[in-house]
């Protein structure tokens, strides 16, 4: 490991490190033991606390919660990327009339906590009527696929959550994309213009592909934030994983009270595993970048390559 | 405008709640973050592993899940007595400490190895190298990411409102329940956050400029 602070340890330092290891292991082990004893004394390892998870109905509820979380996540990712491109295009525009409002919107939604937006959307009648109207339209005009879409997606809480998350994450994605565009060497723009391309063509055909590629790790990291934000559905009673877990715990009575902690163990690890998978993908992509390859194994144009006048 | 003037008390209470949460959690986050970063950059493999595990788990857990676990889970273990405000500060400080740790670590990583090598070849001890050479440079580089960590913390503090702490999210909920126009309430609450965050980021930008060293 490259270390800024420490040089390779000598014999005395190595002995001292052994002592540190023992000390830290003892303190951590002690804390863990204390916590486990606490769990045991409070009856949290009681079989009745955990047997709920053996029932098919309960497993199905957790699965439904997971599906609802993924549903909100996928919709929010799509919408936030769309908004991200829109906001970024606005902020990068050469027209002040477009650039300034876009900049103000981005800064606004980046500063306001997601839950404040989500709750406001949840409380407005506008969203509710819009969703009901859309559901009616789907049911009447599109036959059975419309019926399917209406049953699965026409929930005002789902859309309050999705739109609220997307406004914030869209603003964040826009800033990432803007940074990516800023990192594209000026020569790339100039080469595009020299070939007779228009502003839009240069952006869509030359600059954006490179910006997205360099920023892919950051874009995916932002998706981890999006995934974590779906748990805000808890506050507006959207039945995602966490809320489903809470309901589940409150419907299970044991002699030691509601099984909040067992539910937390299950639900929490599901969240952590999903987020870790996404984080891992982001790290993998960063590693690929470092090796100078893009996802398809093509040599990447280095931004340090001499590009004429810069 | 009447919404604000008629309910100035509620808005003020919410604003003060948010600021209190922010200050106390930031203090806790910095203290824990420094502890975590000392583990993460330690030469002892066990400490490094422990620090990395804690940071990875915290960074990949939704804050709502942590709040859920602490407010509903701890009483199940017989650990009652702490008020909701204390619990919220603990949760938020603990959660933000992972981000503070990563900010500090990114700062340490910007310092070139040659700096520490030069210090050692002048005969400085590890403590001297750290205190006089590495940390001053690392702290400077860590100011912008630390500012981001604090801003994220302020925005996350809104979640405490969902768990019985009175702050700006609670103000929003109360006023919406009382039947005020949602859009107006939203804009005023949002404005409070925008002001708060503008002040914080201006403070950090000033700090960054003051500490900047032309190289």
What string of DSSP letters covers B139-159?
HHHHHHHHHHHHHHHHHHGGG
**Rounded to the nearest 10 degrees, what angle do helices A56-92 and A143-153 cross at?**
90
Q: What mean pLDDT do residues B117-132 have?
A: 89
> What CATH number does domain A45-290 carry, 3.40.50.12160, 1.10.3720.10, 1.10.1240.10, 1.10.287.3510?
1.10.3720.10
pLDDT of residue B188: 92
Position A134 scores a pLDDT of 87
Q: What is the pLDDT of residue B199?
A: 95
Q: Do A21 and B198 touch (CB under 8 A)?
A: no
d(CA B185, CA B175): 7
Q: What is the DSSP string of B94-152?
A: HHHHHHHHHHHHHHHHHS-HHHHHHHHHTT--HHHIIIIIIHHHHHHHHHHHHHHHHHH
Residue A39: the pLDDT is: 86
Please say if the pLDDT value at position B79 is more than 90: no
pLDDT value of position A46: 80
pTM: 0.86
The stretches of A53-124 forming alpha helices (DSSP H) are 56-92, 96-111, 114-123
The whole-number pLDDT of residue B215 equals 63
| 3-state secondary structure (DSSP) of residue A105 | helix
Structure tokens of A161? 């959550």
Q: Rounded to 5 degrees, what angle do the CA atoms B107, A184, A302 make?
A: 80
Chain position carrying tokens 């190289």: B215
What is the reported pLDDT for B74?
A: 84
Query: Which among A115, A50, A76 is positioned nearest to A266, based on CA atoms?
Result: A50
CB nearest to B126's CB, from A6, A41, A229: A6
Closest CA in chain A for residue B120: A7
Nearest to B57 among A2, A230, A272 (CB): A272
State which residue of chain A sits closest to B156, comparing Cα positions: A113
Chain A residues near residue B78 by CB distance under 8 angstroms = 38, 41-42
CATH number for B46:
1.10.3720.10
In degrees and rounded to multiples of 5, residue A124 shows phi and psi of -80, 145
Given pLDDT bands bounded at 50, 70 and 90, which one contains residue B99? very high
pLDDT at B45 > cutoff 50? yes
Minimum-distance CB partner of A113 among B77, B113, B158:
B158
What was the pLDDT predicted at A305? 40
Q: What is the pLDDT of residue A20?
A: 93
Residues in chain A within 8 Å Cβ distance of B72:
246, 249, 258, 260, 264
* Nearest CA-CA distance, residue B97 and chain A, Å: 17
Cβ-nearest to B194 among A13, A108, A235: A108
**What is d(CA A31, CA A112) in angstroms, rounded to the nearest whole number?**
38
| Cα A165 to Cα A137, A161, A224, B62, B129, distances in angstroms | 25, 6, 12, 14, 45
Q: For A233, which DSSP code? A: G
Those residues of chain A that have pLDDT short of 70 are 1-4, 289-310
* pLDDT, tens only, B6-33: 888 889 999 999 999 999 999 999 999 9
| B33 membership: H or E segment, kind and range | helix B8-40
Please give the pLDDT value at position A309: 34
Q: Tell me: the pLDDT tens digits for A196-244?
A: 999 989 999 999 999 998 888 899 989 999 999 999 999 998 888 998 8
- Beta carbons of B120 and A24 less than 8 Å apart: no
Residue A234 contacts residue B68 (beta carbons within 8 Å):
yes
CA distance A274 to B61: 10
User: What is the structure's pLDDT at B155?
Assistant: 93
Mean pLDDT of chain B: 90
Handedness of CA B151, B156, B160, B166 (dihedral sign): positive
pLDDT 10s digits, B164-177: 889 999 989 889 88
ipTM of the predicted assembly exceeds 0.90: no
Interchain pair A39, B77: CB under 8 A: yes
Q: How many domains does chain B have?
A: 1
Q: What are phi and psi of A299, to 5 degrees?
A: -65, 135
CA–CA separation, A283 vs A221, rounded Å?
9
- Cβ contact B64–A275 (<8 Å): no
Q: Nearest CA of chain B to the CA of A284: how many Å?
A: 16
What pLDDT does A282 receive?
81
> From the CB of residue B121, how many other CB atoms can be counted at a distance below 10 Å?
8
Q: Do A272 and B60 touch (CB under 8 A)?
A: yes
pLDDT at A291: 56
Print the domain residue range for B13: 2-211
- pLDDT score for A8: 80
Is residue A238 within 8 A of residue A29, CB to CB? The reply is no
- ∠ CA A166-A168-A174, nearest 5°, is 90
């Amino acid at each position: 490991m490259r270390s800024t602070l420490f040089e390779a340890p000598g014999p005395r330092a190595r002995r001292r490190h052994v002592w540190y290891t023992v000390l830290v292991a003892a303190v951590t082990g002690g804390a863990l033991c204390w916590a486990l004893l606490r769990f045991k004394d409070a009856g949290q390892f009681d079989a009745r606390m955990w047997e709920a998870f053996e029932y098919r109905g309960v497993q199905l509820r957790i699965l439904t919660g997971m599906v609802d979380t993924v549903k909100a996540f996928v919709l929010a990712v799509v919408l936030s990327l769309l908004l991200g491109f829109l906001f970024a295009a606005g902020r990068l525009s050469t027209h002040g009339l477009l650039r300034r409002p876009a900049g103000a919107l981005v800064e606004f939604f980046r500063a306001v906590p997601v839950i404040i937006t989500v709750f406001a959307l949840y409380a407005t009648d506008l969203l509710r009527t819009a969703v009901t109207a859309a559901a009616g339209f789907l049911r009447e005009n599109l036959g059975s696929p419309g019926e399917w879409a209406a049953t699965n997606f026409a929930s005002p809480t789902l859309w309050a959550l999705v739109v609220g998350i997307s406004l914030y994450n869209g603003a964040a994605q826009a800033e990432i994309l803007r940074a990516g565009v800023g990192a594209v060497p000026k020569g790339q723009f100039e080469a595009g213009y020299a070939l007779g391309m228009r502003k839009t063509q240069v952006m869509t055909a030359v600059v954006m592909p490179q910006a997205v590629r360099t920023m892919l790790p950051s874009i995916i990291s932002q998706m981890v934030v999006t995934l974590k934000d779906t748990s805000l559905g808890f506050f507006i009673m959207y039945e995602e994983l966490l809320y489903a877990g809470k309901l589940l715990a409150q419907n299970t009575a044991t002699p030691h009270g509601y099984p909040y902690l067992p539910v937390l163990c299950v639900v929490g690890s599901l969240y952590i595993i999903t987020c870790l998978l996404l984080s891992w993908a982001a790290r993998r992509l960063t590693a690929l970048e470092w090796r100078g390859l893009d996802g398809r194994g093509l040599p990447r144009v280095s931004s340090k390559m001499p590009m004429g006048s810069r | 405008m009447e919404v604000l003037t008629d309910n100035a008390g509620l808005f003020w209470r919410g604003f003060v709640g948010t600021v209190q949460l922010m200050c106390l959690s930031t203090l806790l986050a910095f203290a824990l973050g420094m502890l975590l970063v000392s583990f993460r950059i330690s030469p002892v493999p066990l400490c490094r592993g422990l620090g990395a595990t804690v940071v990875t788990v915290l960074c990949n857990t939704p804050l709502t899940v942590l709040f859920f676990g602490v407010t509903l889970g701890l009483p199940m273990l017989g650990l009652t007595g702490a008020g909701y405000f204390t619990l919220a500060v603990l949760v938020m400080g603990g959660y933000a400490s992972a981000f503070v740790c990563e900010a500090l670590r990114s700062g340490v990583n910007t310092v070139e190895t040659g700096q520490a090598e030069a210090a050692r070849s002048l005969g400085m001890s590890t403590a001297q190298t750290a205190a006089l050479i590495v940390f001053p440079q690392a702290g400077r580089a860590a100011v912008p990411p630390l500012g981001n960590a604090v801003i994220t913390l302020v925005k996350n503090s809104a979640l405490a409102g969902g768990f019985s702490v009175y702050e700006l999210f609670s103000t929003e909920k109360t006023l919406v329940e009382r039947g005020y126009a949602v859009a107006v309430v939203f804009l005023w609450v949002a404005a409070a956050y925008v002001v708060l965050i503008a002040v914080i980021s201006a403070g950090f930008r000033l700090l960054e400029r003051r500490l900047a060293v032309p190289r």
